[in-house]
Structure 1
C-alpha cells in the first residue's frame, strides 16, 4: 500500500514520527510482525535514527514510563507532612491521572496492543512493579515503617490498575483523576467495613 508522507507536519519531531508510525503499523500488521526497519521506513527515517530515540520496538510503547514515575514520586514527596501515607499515595495517583489522560486515544490504542501481546504485558507488569517500589521508598522517606510502606504502595498500585481498567474501557470523557479518587474511596470503605466487622464480632 502506497503512503503519502506529510513530513513537514513533523519536522524536528523524529520521536513523535516514529511513535505514530509504530502505532499505525502495530495496529495494521500486529506488534510481532512489525520490525524496527518497518517503523523507520514508515516514518521516513532510518533505523539508526530509531535507535537514537528508542532502545527497541517495545520501548515505543513505554517511553513515557520514566516521566510518569517522576511525576508520581514528586507528588508523593510534595504531599504535606501532616498527611497520612494513603493521602500521599493519593497525590501520586492524581499526578499519574494528569499525565495519562493527556491523550486518551493513544492510551486506548496502546492498551489494546499490550493486552494482545504477552511480551508487552510482561513489560507492563515490570513498569508497575517499578512504580510500586518507588512509592514504597517515597513512603519510607516520610517515616513510614517499611512493611507499612510496602503495603501502602501495593494498595496504591491496586487502585491504579482497577481505575485504569475502568477508565480505559469507558466512553471517552470520563475523568481519570475522578475514577482514581473514587476507587481509592471504595477501597477505604471496604477496609473500614472489614475493621468494623472484626470489632463487632462475637468474642470467644
Structure 2
C-alpha cells in the first residue's frame, strides 16, 4: 500500500513557537544559583511563615475583639474635688467580647490584705461594666467587693456596691484614663468563663 502524504497545516493556524534551549538553560542556572546563594534564607523564611501568619491573625483578632474605649488604665488619683482626696483607686481593665478582666489597687488594701491588688471579673452590657473584685484564697475564688463602672463621657464613674472590708471609697468617683489598652492587655489575666 502506498504511503499517505501528510497534508500541510491550513494557513489560518499558526505554528507554536518552540522555546529555544538557551532560555530554559538560563532559567535553570538562575534558579540553581538563587538556591545556592540564598537557599538557607529561603528555607528559614519558609520555616517562619506559619508563625508570622498566626501572630498576625492573633493581633487582628485582638484589635477587633478588644473594646478600646473601655480597656486601659483608669484612676481618680490627682482628682481635685474628690470626696476623699487621700483614697484613690487605680484599675487596669481589659474588656474583650463583653467580658471584663483586670486588676484594681487602692491604698487601704495595703493594710487589710496581704497582697497589693485584687483581680476583676465582670461583664459589659450597654455602657456599664458590672463585676466583682476577687482573689484566690486557699485555692478558691473569693469575692471581696462588687462594683459597677459606668460611662460618663470620656470618663468612667465607679460605684462600689458591696464592700464588707471597707477598703474602697464610699462615694462614686470619676475615673480618668491613664493608659492605652495594650498596657492593660499585658497586665490583665485571662478572663474567666
Q: Same fold (TM over 0.5)?
A: no
| Richer in helix (by share) | 1
Which structure shows the higher strand fraction?
Answer: 2
Which has more radius of gyration? 2
The normalised TM-score by structure 2 is 0.27
Tell me the TM-score normalised to structure 1 length: 0.26
